[in-house]
Amino acid sequence: MIKKSLIINGLPRTLLVNPEENLAKVLREQLLLTGCKVGCQIGQCGTCTVIVDGKAVRSCLVKMKKLEDGTKIETIEGVGTPENLHPLQLAWMGHGCAQCGYCSPGFIMSAKVLLEENPDPTREEVRAWFQKHRNLCRCTGYKPLVDAVMDAAKVLRGEMKKEDLIFTPVGNKILGTSYVRPSALQKVTGTWGYGADMALEMPADTARLALVQADIPHAVIKGVDFEEAGKMPGVIKVITAKDVKGKNRISGLITFATNKGDGWDRPILCDEKIFQIGDAVAIVAADTEEHAKEAAKAVKLDLEPLPAYMSAMEAMEEDAIEIHPGTPNVYFETNCIKGEDTKPIMESAPYVAEVHAYTSRQPHLHLEPDCGCAYIDEEGRLTVHSKSIGIHLHSAMIVAGIGVEPDKFRLIQNPSGGTFGYKFSPTMEALLGVACLALDGRACTLVYDQYQNITYTGKRSPAFMNIKLAADAEGRLLGMEGDNYVDHGPYSEFGDLLTMRLSQFTGAGYDIRNIRNKSQTVCTNHAWGSAFRGYGSPQSLMGSELCMDILAEKMGMDPFELRYKNIYRKEWGSTTPTGQTPEVYNLEEMYEKARPIYYEAKERLAKMNTEKLKYGVGFAAGIYGCGLDGKDSSIANVQLNPDGTVTVFNSWEDHGQGADIGTLTMAHETLRQAGITPDKIQLVMNDTGRTPASGPAGGSRSNVVTGNATRVAAEMLVNAMRKTDGTYRTYEEMVAENIPVFYEGTWVASACTDCDLETAQGAPFSNYMYQLFIPEVEVNVETGQVRVIRYSTICDFGTIINKTVVDGQVYGGLTQGIGLALSEDFEDYSKHTTLAGCGIPYPKDVPDDINIVYVETKRPEGPYGASGCGEGPLTAGHPAILSAIYNATGARITELPAKPEKVKEALLRR
């Protein structure tokens, strides 16, 4: 222990610290300055950036022994107050930079130093600064962050007023504007309490948990020896499968009856077998996290290795054993059967194109590691706080496994640092519940480090897409065939639903009358598959969009024109691959807006080529449905309060996409009829003990389904408040007239149907989102390095509910698509275990020049005409980038990611 005298946020502080401890840990755990976030602990993400003697420093890399007495340290808590924010904080709010908000304090601290050193930076200098200081963001795509720095700099130079950084409504209307999301203020001041922050604020006797995890992918468990671990300092209990009071399984909620599994294949704590690297076998509970982790290392696992099938192809070999005895490794099949038999069409068509494409196991790479806590609440309920984006869904999935009655379980979503879909599956919720009960109700916390976060949470399921397209002599599509395989890892949950998406979205956007497309789900021993933004469409469109490019090449036709010739058209009676009539026919307008952008880029880039650097433009179309299949529904409640405010209750989970501003705007657009302003609307969200079952926040369903339910609830209240003369009752008048002040709004996608299990024909979604992708790339033919240098996109998400939020979703989704196309992967457990190792895009990897063009076709079934927007930007950007590489070089790449070595191989094959 050493004594340090430091100046922290302008005040002298004397601290007793471990000399080997890092500054981030001391700030967070000893001073509770939790605005300093910890993402990676190895200096790759910048979330822990603070200012040390005027320099931007990643505090996880700074040992306390290196700090001199008198060192000045500034954290986000010392930058501004809610009443007097720094221009950077205001600009961050105004430009929508605080999406999940986890990286915001680190970026703001970094930018503050930049503007102190360079008051008038260029956009390129801002991006270079963030690159140099390793500031990472997974949500925003970086462009809004640069916008914010540029505007904050103007304020600091006196060229812009501080108040102009924030949008102010004109009149009582916020729909379609850039009204700031309610959570923004806390996010930019570092006071938005994420799960790991909450863990530090728990009572002193809280148990801290650590996992005992397998380091091989497939094995029989012969024994677990925890005798030595149980005697180590601070250990309270070592919890194994024998301590689980329930079934010790997570219900995979089998979606379709043709699934050959039973959905109970995922243990909470492994008791018989190991199914993947990282599987949890035991939980150590101790008085400190350090003690728990040390004891976890001492637990000895006696494992008998089994053959490990790390890809779908391996698991389908004839001699492969069943990973789950009694269930075949290929456990689900869906067939899209539409129109006439395609075999004679393929044999006689003038043009037939074929592609064998592979979409990789993309990691989510959320910067906030998974985390949560559990305790028994005042009503005797086992209560878990987590990052869940499906609190009612997850309750149903885990209560039997934990061993509690549904009414004795409560799940609350913490403020969450991004999930991008991985939390559609429960991760630590069941572990926390089991531990709390095994500890006789003692409160406990579990916080992963980034290595665990990457290796022990779900990934996008890779897919092998084998697609054929046939066309007539003029280029009209005659038919499509497919034979596809999804590697869903060892656990079946939602694997069948994911694979059904290949029936729904392969070939989407085109008038294809005849389809025979088979897709199968395969169990493997690689990382388990969970939802990821776009859910099934990146795999589907990787197949059909690349095949469209190959078909265009065979015909000598521009790929844009081939697509335009075949898009959905009302006069043709075009339908989706599942035979559903689209809710709008908007593609002609979208393509006409895209046409001049695409051809201008094609002409301009052709003139830029050098011997070393080649330039090209690509094109692809993406479509995604909003909702869970069939008659998806949601519930929201509203209540008029004595003070004239209105409280909205729903379970619209927020993983950074803006559920708070979505709820506020959906309610306000109706409530404003009664003169209610946004500041008079209170939000109560995401607590199964207080909020209704609105459904999970996945598949971009919430904006449509929960948005509609919120609208309906607000309409019910407004209708009750309205008098015959057109004025509105007060709370007192409502009570005096015995009129209820609480209303439950329900909305059901009543016109939708499930897809037929034999043919996949049906009308699964009430709304779709549509997006066209036009990336421009630079290819270094000597190194194989590819850069996206400019990006244009045409989007139709219906009515835009909040402009800043929708912009942010597009920027962020395009950036994740760049990562999927060029760098991101989780395949090699020796390499792909850090954010950088997995290929996450840094500022230098994303263009600053991004052009978004909106078409707002009102949706008949959307709230105020809105559709969803979250999935669209990650549907088909990756095949568009591969298309651009081909346009630049003539090298055809059909497997992701297109890393330099893969590009060089393709260049040699030309």
Annotated catalytic residues are 871
Find the helix or strand (DSSP H, E) in which 807 lies. Answer: helix 803-822
Find the helix or strand (DSSP H, E) in which 661 lies. Answer: helix 659-671
Question: Which is it for the CA torsion 587, 590, 596, 597, positive or negative?
Answer: negative
Which residues have CB under 8 Å from 263's CB, separation 6+? 251, 252, 253, 254, 492, 493
The DSSP symbol for 14 reads E
Helix axes 87-94, 143-156, angle to 10 degrees: 140
The DSSP symbol for 30 reads I
Per-residue CA distances from 723 to 637, 726, 737, 768, 793 (Å):
22, 5, 12, 38, 47
Find the helix or strand (DSSP H, E) in which 594 lies. Answer: helix 587-606
Instruction: Kindly report the number of other CB atoms within 10 A of residue 349's CB atom.
Output: 19
Find the helix or strand (DSSP H, E) in which 280 lies. Answer: strand 280-286
**Residue 12, preceding peptide bond in cis (omega within 30° of 0):** no
What is the spatial distance between Cα 576 and Cα 583, in angstroms, rounded to a whole number? 10
Per-residue CA distances from 167 to 4, 173, 180, 588, 674 (Å):
44, 12, 7, 34, 23
Which residues have CB under 8 Å from 688's CB, separation 6+? 391, 392, 395, 409, 410, 411, 412, 651
Q: Tokens 């709008």 correspond to what residue?
A: 584
Give the strand order in the sheet containing 681-685: 681-685, 646-650, 633-640, 742-748
What is the spatial distance between Cα 812 and Cα 805, in angstroms, rounded to a whole number? 10
What is the spatial distance between Cα 579 and Cα 507, in angstroms, rounded to a whole number? 12
Per-residue CA distances from 133 to 49, 59, 469 (Å):
9, 12, 47
**Beta pairing partners, 464:** 358, 485
Give the strand order in the sheet containing 49-52: 11-17, 2-8, 72-74, 49-52, 55-58
The gap from C-alpha 857 to its chain's centroid, in whole angstroms, comes to 25
Could you give the 3-state DSSP secondary structure of residue 768? strand
DSSP line for 375-428: EE-TTS-EEEEE--S-HHHHHHHHHHHHT--GGGEEEEEPP-S--TTGGGS-SS
What is the spatial distance between Cα 284 and Cα 771, in angstroms, rounded to a whole number? 48
Q: Which amino acid is at 407?
A: D
What is the spatial distance between Cα 742 and Cα 635, in angstroms, rounded to a whole number? 13
| b/e 304-316 (16+ beta carbons within 10 angstroms → b) | eebebbbbbebbb
Q: Tokens 């024994």 correspond to what residue?
A: 223
Cα–Cα–Cα angle for 724, 726, 730, rounded to 5 degrees:
90
DSSP line for 524-546: -SSSPB---TTTTHHHHHHHHHH
The gap from C-alpha 239 to its chain's centroid, in whole angstroms, comes to 31
